Amino acid sequence: MQSINQRAVILFFVTCVFAFAKAYSQTDSTKTTTVVPKRTYTTNAYTGEAPTIDGIINEDAWNAVEWAGDFVENEPDENTAPAQQTKFKITYDQKYLYVAWRAYDTEPDKIERRMGRRDDFPGDWVEINIDSYNDDRSGFSFTISASGVKGDEFISNNGNFDDSWNPIWYAASHIDEEGWTAEAKIPLSQLKFGKAEEQVWGLQINRLYFRNQERDVWQRVPQDANGWVSNFGELRGLKNIEPQKQLEIQPFLVSQYDTFEAQAGNPFRDGDDFRLNGGIDAKIGITNDLTLDLTVNPDFGQVDADPGAIALDGFEIFFQERRPFFVENANIFRLGLNGSQDNLFFSRRIGRSPQGFSTADGSKGEFEDFPINSTILGAAKFSGKTKDGWSIGALQSITANEFAEIELDDREEVRDLLEQEGNLGENRKELVEPLTSYSVVRLQKDLNNRNSFVGGLVTYTDRTLDQNLSFLHDKALTGGIDGQHTWQNRNYFIDGKFLFSNVRGSAESITRTQQSIRHLFNRVDADHVEVDPTRTSLTGTGGRIAIGKDGGGNWRYGNSFAWRSPELELNDIGFLRQADEIRQSAWLRYLFLKPTSWYRRAQVNFNQFTTFDFDGNYNRIQYDVQGNINWKNNWFTEVGFGHKPRIFINTFLRGGPRWRFSDENFSFLFAGTDQRKKFSAVLGHVYSQARENNFQFKRYVVRFNWQPLDALSLNLETEYEKNPNKTQYVSQQAYAPAQFGARYITGEIDQETLSTTLRVNYNINPNLTIQYYAQPFIAKGTYTNFNYVANSEAERLSDRVTLFTDNQIDFQNGAYVVDEDEDGTADYSFGDPDFNFVQFRSNLVMRWEYIPGSELFLVWSQGIEGNSASDASLFEAADQQILGQQIRNTFLVKWTYRFVL
């Protein structure tokens, strides 16, 4: 163990020393960093009548300010003259900021006016980015396309754009003989700024010249610059404006009608159901910097369904948050170890599917109505950033007691017969998810002239448990601190994170956690953990430290070291896939920043990582090289290949010994046509092959985008996967002669998955859209050649498992019966693992924003899922389960009205 850990530590610190040496050796050098003077635009308040927002710049108010221009190209050929020039004006009053653009075009008939949904721009557009905090890290983005479609995004972390932010503002565009123009009216209440006699804000004006896929900017940003907001120019001249407190209240009403296949005798499935619901959302500006968001009985009926997925490794599948209340400002609440997944706060835990179960018994004539999600009684979110550099977030939500309703068969003849037999059940309700309080608090402070920050986040989950839910934690406290320091024009960085968790509950709940696949304290060959059935709490830690170069010149590199202790548990309100891991990662990237005669942009990446567990086991190492190139004709290619010489998995045998897979090689290739065209396509292939043909993975991806009309677009994506594996885990059965007293059974699986996603968007006008989403998903797995684990860590596959002979295994009455010692008596059995799962989801939504911020939704959703015969092909399964069954239909009308007070 000592030598293994030393190897990881030495590798990590050698990379750190190299990064520091490289950084400090270039601290005074200008070769890797281009210094660009900040441009300044000085505005004035208009006099007279306010501009009319119609896209035509002809009002006297615009005469109060001068045009600014002299844009430069940012992409693809940075710091060159643009193909077409652009200019803009900015004026203001005490309530609004007004912006005008003139986008010159010598061929106005070729201006691309394709329509799209809000925040989707398949044509020409112009944009203003405003850093009203003037903190060089965050900002507000407002975009208007030549077709009149609006977009808005909140910018965080010096360049992360979040399009879930949907402020109220006004915009219009117009095409004329010189090109096209646009106007915008932005309420100051939608921006955040402090009190000052004259405001100084960061400013950037952008334009996409669609025909050339050229992005032009007012303030030059070198391609090797690290970050976006920190490179803005300045907006001056905003005098005597007062911060505006936001106050918006949005009630809503929802009516929903469901139709589905009736089930004889089931009182919950009589063929249809009708519900009427309502609630309130509100935004209250506590200060100009900080906003309180409230929701009472929220509705998420128009949100897209999750994509189909199936996992055979036993781990939870991660799905992105889609609900608007939780998506907005989500960046403030992130503190995790592994990108967007492992995180202290995972908002989908709020309103989750109930974790309990009912005791409904069909043999007693009982049917159950089991809730799909927990009811969110209410939620409040307090968030924002102060002019002093404090980012603040606080969230509180309460979910209700959730009950499964159990009622008897409504057919009298069935009840009479069961009563005569003395086997009649009873109507009742059973608790399946308790009343739960979720709390999250986040603080972060900018330091060192905005080049550094430190912060922390704490979560607390409190459940009111009944006896039948004692397998859940009643309390969970998690928290962490994070920080980052950058230097030399933000090109170099070091950041760190430290996390802790403490979960409490009954001995049953803590034992269940210890034995879960995330922890596996019951692993038979683990010396560093063991199940303690008397414990009523667990406390764990995690962390990460990373150092590297992220800007300046063509090279980027870094190294990181992370850990998750065996007892770390975040999943009451966070997301943690697996504990008990130590990981070292390194990356090196070269950027080809200057276009040539045959490409516009390209890059090559090298990545490496190793993993260990807290028992000192050296589990994994992987190397890969990836690259992508955007060709001169705007086609693109992405390619990569890698090698995994060592693959050990602690969790594969579900508490059994550490398992070895044969070493693996993998590759991928994706290529796409010019995305500017009204028809474009992407083809992709992923291939993986393990030694001795232990397993194989093939994925084929086909994507088509077609926009036959400016108002109509279609997107079709199909994926087919084939994943044969000679040693797919099946079961474990007690067998005294075996090592550890158990047989760990695997089998050869022929697994196929097919999914198709169709999206259709029709824009009647920028505020009235029709959207259709549909996805059939089919997953099939057929098992043969069952075997048992002989030596889980053996290098050769033939030594790792032993095949059952025909005399040892037999299929009887839907199960496999094993007579391992061939004495004529069954030693153990296991169920048939074959599966053929089918799912279909669709959503047809008409959205009308009849006034800014107020909407009407008409929704038609369909859905069905189930299992087909295991011997059916993928297409036969689709026919049996989708075309051959009555699909559940949901018709929904949702009306909202936003009061701006």
pLDDT in tens, 689-716: 999 999 999 999 999 999 999 999 999 9
Q: Taking 50 as the threshold, does the pLDDT of residue 237 lie above it? A: yes
Share of the chain residues as helix, strand and coil, in percent rounded to the nearest 5: 10, 50, 40
- At 24, the pLDDT band (50, 70, 90 cuts) reads very low
Q: Token match 């306010």: residue? A: 50
- pLDDT band, very low/low/confident/very high, at 301 (cuts 50, 70, 90): low
Whether 211 shows a pLDDT value over 60: the answer reads yes
- In angstroms, the CA 73 to CA 212 distance is 11
Within-domain flag for 395:
no
Do 569 and 557 contact (CB within 8 A), yes or no?
no
For residue 353, the 8-state DSSP code is P
Q: Determine the Cα–Cα distance for residues 798 and 814; give it in Å rounded to an integer.
A: 29
Q: Is 264's pLDDT higher than 70?
A: yes
pLDDT tens-digit map of 433-462? 999 999 999 999 999 888 999 999 999 999
Longest CA pairwise span in the chain (Å): 101
Strands in 170-225 per DSSP E: 170-176, 179-187, 198-209, 214-217
The strand order across the sheet containing 44-45 reads 44-45, 86-92, 96-104, 179-187, 170-176
Amino acid at 282: A
Q: What is the spatial distance between Cα 637 and Cα 818, in angstroms, rounded to a whole number?
A: 51
Q: Is the pLDDT of residue 200 over 70?
A: yes
* DSSP three-state, residue 869: coil
In a domain, 603, yes or no: no
State mean pLDDT over 870-883: 68
Determine the Cα–Cα distance for residues 212 and 185; give it in Å rounded to an integer: 29
| Residue keyed to tokens 């549909």 | 774
List alpha helices for 467-526, DSSP H.
Answer: 507-515
Number of Cβ within a 10 Å radius of residue 247 = 15
Edge-first strand listing for the sheet containing 366-369: 366-369, 402-408, 428-433
CA–CA dist 245, 181 (Å, integer): 31
C-alpha 840/C-alpha 300 separation (Å) is: 19
Pairing mode of beta strands 233-239, 40-42: parallel
- The DSSP 8-state label assigned to residue 21 in this structure reads H
**Domain for residue 257, yes or no?**
no
Task: Give the pLDDT band of residue 880 (cuts 50, 70, 90).
Answer: low
Across the range 264-278, mean pLDDT stands at 91
What is the model's pLDDT at position 358? 92
Reported as a single tens digit per residue, the pLDDT across 344-355 is 999 999 999 999
Spell out the residues 6+ positions from residue 517 whose beta carbon is closer than 8 angstroms to its own: 314, 315, 578, 651, 654
- Please give, one letter per residue, the 3-state secondary structure of 42-98: ECEECCCCCCCCCCCCCCHHHHHCCCECCCEEEECCCCCCCCCCEEEEEEECCCEEE
Cβ-Cβ contacts under 8 Å for 467 (sequence gap 6 or more)? none
The residues, any chain, with a CB within 8 Å of residue 518's CB and separated by 6 or more, are 315, 569, 571, 576, 577, 578, 579
Residue 102: what residue type? R
One-letter amino acid at 767 equals N
Q: What is the mean pLDDT of residues 792-798?
A: 95
- With contact defined as beta carbons under 8 Å apart, do 745 and 727 qualify? no
Dihedral sign from CA coordinates of 184, 189, 193, 197: positive
Q: How far apart are CA 248 and CA 285, in angstroms?
A: 9
Q: Are 607 and 585 in contact (CB under 8 A)?
A: yes
Average pLDDT over residues 134-146: 93
Over residues 654-689, the pLDDT tens digits come to 999 999 999 999 999 999 999 889 999 999 999 999
Q: What whole-number distance in Å separates Cα of residue 742 and Cα of residue 734?
A: 4
How confident is the model over 459-514, as pLDDT tens digits? 999 999 987 899 999 999 999 999 999 999 889 999 999 999 999 999 999 999 99
pLDDT band for position 243 (50/70/90)?
Answer: confident
The Cα 862–Cα 844 span in angstroms is: 9
Q: Does any domain span residue 775?
A: no
Confidence of residue 30 (pLDDT cuts 50, 70, 90): very low
Query: Which pLDDT band, with edges at 50, 70 and 90, does 383 fall under?
Result: confident
> For position 29, what pLDDT does the model report?
40
**598 lies in some domain:** no
How far apart are alpha carbons 220 and 72 in whole angstroms?
A: 7
Phi and psi torsions of 400, nearest 5°: -80, 160
Of all residues in the chain, what percent carry a pLDDT higher than 70? 93
Q: Kindly indicate the confidence band of residue 225, based on its pLDDT and cuts at 50, 70 and 90.
A: confident
Beta carbons within 10 angstroms of residue 274's beta carbon? 9
pLDDT value of residue 615: 95
224: left (phi over 0), alpha (psi -120 to 50) or beta: alpha
Range of the domain at 59: 38-239
Check residue 23 and give its pLDDT.
44
User: pLDDT per residue over 77-117, tens digit each?
Assistant: 999 999 999 999 999 999 999 999 999 999 999 999 998 88
Residue 117, pLDDT score:
82
Q: Which residue has the tokens 């219009």?
A: 172
Which amino acid, one-letter code, is at 119? D
Residues 386-434 have pLDDT tens digits of: 878 888 999 999 999 999 999 999 999 999 899 898 899 999 999 999 9
Helix (H) and strand (E) counts in the chain: 6, 50
- Is there a domain that residue 652 lies in? no
pLDDT of residue 900: 83
The CATH number given to whatever domain includes residue 80 is 2.60.40.1190
Task: Pick 11 or 516 by higher pLDDT.
Answer: 516
* pLDDT tens by residue, 735-790: 999 989 999 999 999 999 999 999 999 999 989 999 999 999 999 999 999 999 99
The b-or-e profile of 846-855 (16+ CB within 10 A means b, else e) is bbebeebbbb
Check residue 248 and give its pLDDT: 87
- Measuring CA to CA, how many Å separate 224 from each of 228, 547, 606, 658, 663? 11, 18, 19, 45, 38
Q: What secondary structure, in 3-state letters, does 665-725 show?
A: EEEEEEEECCCCCCEEEEEEEEEEEEHHHCEEEEEEEEEEEEEEECCEEEEEEEEEEECCE
Mean pLDDT, range 276-280, rounded to an integer: 90
Coil, strand or helix at 218: coil
Beta strand pairing call for 86-92 and 44-45: parallel
In angstroms, rounded to a whole number, what is the distance separating the alpha carbons of residues 670 and 231?
33
Percent of the residues in the chain that have a pLDDT greater than 90, as a whole number: 72
CA atoms of 280 and 656, how far apart (whole Å): 51
CA–CA distance from 250 to each of 278, 845, 897 (Å)? 11, 20, 5
For 316, 543, 715, the CA distances from 342, given in Å and listed in that order, are 12, 11, 31
Phi/psi for 412 (5° steps) reads -60, -40
Pick from 330, 326, 348: nearest CA to 281: 326
pTM score of the predicted model: 0.87
What is the C-alpha to C-alpha distance for residues 539 and 477, in angstroms, rounded to an integer? 9
Report pLDDT for 322. Answer: 73
Strands annotated E in 506-598: 537-549, 555-564, 581-592
The per-residue pLDDT for 110 is 94
Q: How far apart are CA 85 and CA 69, in angstroms?
A: 7
Report the range of poorest mean pLDDT among 304-318, 629-643, 783-797: 304-318
How many domains are contained in the chain?
A: 1
CA 564 from centroid of its chain's CA atoms: 21
Residue with tokens 């007012």: 218
Burial class (CB in 10 A: 0-12, 13-18, 19+), 800: buried
In a domain, 198, yes or no: yes
Question: What confidence category does residue 33 fall into, taking pLDDT thresholds of 50, 70 and 90?
Answer: low
CA angle 873, 879, 881 (to 5 degrees): 95
Residue 366 has pLDDT above 80, yes or no: yes
pLDDT score of 28: 39
Asked if residue 22 has pLDDT above 60, the reply is no
CA-CA distance, 96 to 169, in Å (whole number)? 9
Which secondary-structure segment (H or E) carries 10?
Answer: helix 2-25
134 domain residue, yes or no: yes
Instruction: Report how far residue 183's alpha carbon sits from residue 262's, in angstroms, rounded to the nearest whole number.
Output: 55
- Identify which of 696, 654, 722 has the alpha carbon closest to the alpha carbon of residue 313: 654
pLDDT of residue 302: 54
> How far is residue 706's CA from residue 771's CA, in Å, rounded to a whole number?
15
The token duo for 463 is 């459940």
Contact 174, 181 (CB under 8 A): yes
